[in-house]
Amino acid sequence: EPEVTQTPSHQVTQMGQEVILRCVPISNHLYFYWYRQILGQKVEFLVSFYNNEISEKSEIFDDQFSVERPDGSNFTLKIRSTKLEDSAMYFCASGGVFSYEQYFGPGTRLTVT
Amino acid sequence: GQQLNQSPQSMFIQEGEDVSMNCTSSSIFNTWLWYKQDPGEGPVLLIALYKAGELTSNGRLTAQFGITRKDSFLNISASIPSDVGIYFCAGVSGTYKYIFGTGTRLKVLA
C-alpha cells in the first residue's frame, strides 16, 4: 500500500540554524501539506500546496517558513532560522484531487536547542 | 481564528462498551474528517464526511456530519484494546485548509 515517507525521523539543531525537512508524498497525489504538533497538543495546519504554489497557509507559516517541490517526488519544508518554540513533530500529508482525504507520514521530530 | 472543540477530552471505558465523542465549532465546514493517532505516529484517516446530515460507517466506526455543518460525531461500537489512542476531528475550510480539533484521548480497560 502506498504511503507518505518523511526524513529524517529526528532532527536536532541549534537555535538560529536552518533546517530542511523532507517528504515523499504518495505518487499520484497532487495536494501536499505540512502540519506541526507540539508534544501533547493538537495537530496544527501550516500550509497546503498544489500545482507548484501555496494554496493556503496558516498564521504560523510566517516568513521563516518556505515549501518547495524541487523534483517530481520530494516536498520540503524549510525553516530559515529556527527558534526554541519550533520544537515539535512535523507531519507531511498528501491527498488526491477529487476528495479531501489526506494521508499522513510518520513525522519528523524537530528539537531546537 | 477557527477552532474545533472536542469532547470529552479523555475517557476510560471498558472493553466491549460503545464510545461516543463529538466535535463542535462556531464556523461552518464543508467537509469533516476523523483521524486516529497512536503515540509517536502520524494521524490515520478513519472516515470522511462530505454532506450535511451524512452518516458513514467504517467497520465498528460510525460518524455523522451535523445538519448545521458546525459539528460532527464519532461512535465506536464494541470497543477493543487497540482502539486506544487520540481521536481528532478535522474540518476543511476554504481551499484545502484543514483545522484539527483538540482531540479525545481514549483508554480502553480490558
What does the pLDDT look like over B43-67, one tens digit per residue? Answer: 999 999 999 999 999 999 999 999 9
* Contact call for B95 and A48, based on CB within 8 A: yes
Cβ contact, residue pair A104, B50, below 8 Å: no
- Gap between the Cα atoms of B57 and B46, Å rounded: 9
DSSP secondary structure letter of residue A81: S
Instruction: Report pLDDT for B63.
Output: 97
B33–A100 C-beta distance less than 8 A: yes
Cα–Cα distance measured from residue B5 to residue B100, given in angstroms and rounded to the nearest whole number? 9
**Angle (CA) A18 A21 A27, round 5°:** 150
Q: Which helix (H) or strand (E) holds A31?
A: strand A31-37
Residue A1 has pLDDT above 80, yes or no: no
Query: Is the CB of B59 inside 8 Å of chain A's CB atoms?
Result: no
pLDDT band of residue A76 (cuts 50, 70, 90) is very high
Cell numbers for A100: 479531501
Do the chains contact at A42 and B103, CB–CB below 8 Å? yes
**Range B6-28 average pLDDT:** 94
Q: Which residues contact B75 (CB under 8 A, 6 or more apart)?
A: B18, B19, B20, B21, B61, B62, B63
Q: What percent of chain A has pLDDT over 90?
A: 81
Cis peptide before A8 (omega within 30 of 0): yes
Chain B residues with CB-CB distance to A50 below 8 A = 96
pLDDT for the residue numbered A101: 86
In terms of CA atoms, which chain B residue is nearest residue A32? B96
Residue B42 and residue B80: Cα distance in Å, rounded?
21
* C-alpha grid cell, residue B47: 472516515
Number of inter-chain CB pairs under 8 A, A vs B: 66
B86-100 mean pLDDT:
88
Name the residue facing A106 among B42, B98, B103 (closest C-beta). B42
Relative to beta strand B4-7, strand B10-14 is: unpaired
Average pLDDT on B5-26 reads 94
The verdict on a CB contact (< 8 Å) between A101 and B45 is yes
Q: Distance between CA A3 and CA A25 in Å, rounded?
A: 7
Distances in whole angstroms, Cα of residue A106 to Cα of each of A32, A89, B48, B65, B72: 15, 9, 20, 28, 26
Taking an 8 Å cut-off on Cβ atoms, the answer to whether A43 and B100 are in contact is yes
